[in-house]
Amino acid sequence: MMPSGNKQFIISRLSGGRRIREALALVSGRLVLILINALALLIFCGLLWKAAPLFGIISVSDWLFSSSWHPMKNQFGLFPFIVGTVSVTLLAMIIAVPVCLGAAIYLSEYAGRRFREIARWLIDILAGIPSVIYGLCGVLVIVPFVAFLGELMGSTTTGYSLLAGGLVLAVMVIPFIISISVEVLRMVPDPLRECALALGATRWETVKYVVLKKAKRGLLAAVVLGFARAFGETMAVLMVVGNVAQVPVSLFDPAYPLPALIANNYGEVMSIPLYDAALMSAALILMLVVGAFSLTAHYTLLKIGETVDS
């Protein structure tokens, strides 16, 4: 029954194969991790490399702050597009944030466990809906609605506008922000709530004075992540926002965000090399802004995790 023979011998003989497997796994593990980090670097450098020729002919301030976009004349002022992106994103966030906070607080603080689980699942589904479908619904429902609204307000609009873009984008980021917010709120330890309730606070007072205070940073991170999400969103916005290269002055004006600019023109512009570079520089802006925002958010999120843990 018992393994017989010289144990020492058995072990040293068998561990040869095991040691090789172990070493192989260690090496390949390290390789894939290097690969991932290299990939990120490659994306960044690739965009930088393709965008670089642009700065041979225009200054950084022209690039960011000039409104003249005339690719044929080598004028590549991205200002209208930057304003377009920022305004459509801000608009979406203004609409989305109150809704998200309300829904997330309700789910975390008022709803029962079962209801919360089901609601989160539905919200997950909403978050997983492809952006072209949001765009399609935007075209079918929101654009006519905005056109109608514009008529009421006495402005002539096709409906394809900043407002339509903001509304569609808001609906898109809402589930994303709620998901993170509920998670953040659930991280606040229950004893804290019980403490406040035991002192005679109402539910809402508990939320206002205890839970929100504790979860402030995490909720901010959720909003920032939502902003980053919305900032780079392409298809849904592209389909409803009108895409006219001008600085919008009213909610019913069309706008032209950076991602839409890239999506509409890329691939056809190989004939004008600087045009290519200009679009790449737009992609670079997107990557940098979104990267910076998600970095900030992850740091604040991480910190919230630590304070709640301890």
Nearer to another protein, 29 or 250 (CB): 29
Determine the Cα–Cα distance for residues 96 and 90; give it in Å rounded to an integer. Answer: 10
* Minimum separation from the CB atom of position 249 to another protein (A): 26
Distances in Å between the Cα of 197 and the Cα atoms of 19, 189, 210 are: 58, 13, 10
DSSP H/E element including 75: strand 75-76
Nearer to another protein, 34 or 59 (CB): 34
Determine the Cα–Cα distance for residues 188 and 46; give it in Å rounded to an integer. Answer: 42
> Hey, what are 38's tokens?
């290299």
Maximum distance among all Cα pairs of the chain, rounded to whole angstroms:
96
Contact 219, 212 (CB under 8 A): yes
* Minimum separation from the CB atom of position 41 to another protein (A): 9
Contact 237, 136 (CB under 8 A): no
Contact 225, 294 (CB under 8 A): yes
Side chain identity at 75, as an amino acid letter?
A: Q
Determine the Cα–Cα distance for residues 236 and 4; give it in Å rounded to an integer. Answer: 70
Determine the Cα–Cα distance for residues 79 and 62; give it in Å rounded to an integer. Answer: 9
Nearer to another protein, 148 or 155 (CB): 148
* Minimum separation from the CB atom of position 156 to another protein (A): 21
Contact 294, 228 (CB under 8 A): yes
Q: Which residue has the tokens 């109608």?
A: 148
Nearer to another protein, 62 or 183 (CB): 183
Nearer to another protein, 25 or 60 (CB): 25
Nearer to another protein, 146 or 225 (CB): 225
* Minimum separation from the CB atom of position 193 to another protein (A): 15
* Minimum separation from the CB atom of position 263 to another protein (A): 6
* Minimum separation from the CB atom of position 11 to another protein (A): 5
Nearer to another protein, 155 or 264 (CB): 264
* Minimum separation from the CB atom of position 48 to another protein (A): 11
